[in-house]
Amino acid sequence: MIKLIQISEIFGPTIQGEGAQIGHPTIFVRTAGCDYRCVWCDTKYAVETENAKSWHKLSAQDVMSEIERLSQSTPMSVTLSGGNPAMQDLEELIDLGHEKGYSFSMETQGSLSRNWFAKLDALTLSPKPPSSKMETNWQEVMDCVEVAGTHPQLSLKVVIFDDQDYEYAQFAGKLFPDIPLFLQAGNHRVESDQKADIPGVLDRLRWLAEKVASDRWKTARVLPQLHVLAWGNERGV
């Protein structure tokens, strides 16, 4: 029986806009469906079931064929995103891609652990802070770290909107002191039909950078969402 992957969109090449892979050329495979409902989610079209008519169920081979078409069969980085891509069985896709020389990075909130995480080349765990209105089960995040093992380049990323989010990130850093931690200034205007508030995003980025520097938090790394600065809320870039 062929296992199908629920897909929202596949696009690229573009660049990775955030986290440990920021700036790297990549193909995006955005899966559909999520077990979270963050209030500031910037990919609701891949999360809310009301958008399911635009989703597609594809085999791993079909997804790989589209990756090869977009990359002109040049092996490169593939980013698995969502929604929550951990809801899908992506092991076969990763195996197919590795056979052809592609590498795979993935971002997930850490709510679902899968044994195939160990096959990824890079894994970003992005637990959601208080501003998301979601609750973090830290044992679930620990389970993701455990199943990933030592193969993927592992990192943490926390989106920051306010002081409460900042304190949450400090707790995450203490809980996982050996995992690189990236702090990302949040985008407060996320709808694709809205114009991004770039000055507001930059104000938050400056606030976050100054706070980390004044606290002498030497292990945290402050990043923008590079794709927001370059393309605003435009989809598929």
Mean pLDDT of 10-31: 95
- How much of the chain is in helix, strand and coil states, percent to nearest 5? 40, 25, 40
Strand partners, 31: 7
Banded pLDDT at 9 (limits 50, 70, 90)? very high
CB 52 within 8 Å of CB 5: no
DSSP state of 187: -
Backbone Cα Rg of the chain? 17
pLDDT of residue 161: 96
Q: Could you tell me the domains of the chain?
A: 4-231 (3.20.20.70)
pLDDT of residue 237: 58
- pLDDT exceeds cutoff 60 at 206: yes
pLDDT of residue 109: 97
Distance CA 202, CA 212 (A): 15
Mean pLDDT of 133-162: 97
Point out the least confidently predicted range of 17-21, 43-47, 151-155, 232-236: 232-236
Strands 181-185 and 220-223, bridge-based pairing = parallel
Distance CA 159, CA 129 (A): 7
Mean pLDDT of 55-62: 97
Using CA atoms, how far residue 23 sits from 15, 20, 98, 182, in Å, is: 5, 9, 22, 14
pLDDT of residue 71: 98
The DSSP-derived string for 96-134 is HHHHTT-EEEEEE-SSS--GGGGG-SEEEE----GGGT-
pLDDT of residue 188: 78
pLDDT of residue 192: 55
- pLDDT exceeds cutoff 80 at 121: yes
Distance CA 118, CA 177 (A): 20
Distance CA 211, CA 142 (A): 27
Distance CA 83, CA 211 (A): 30
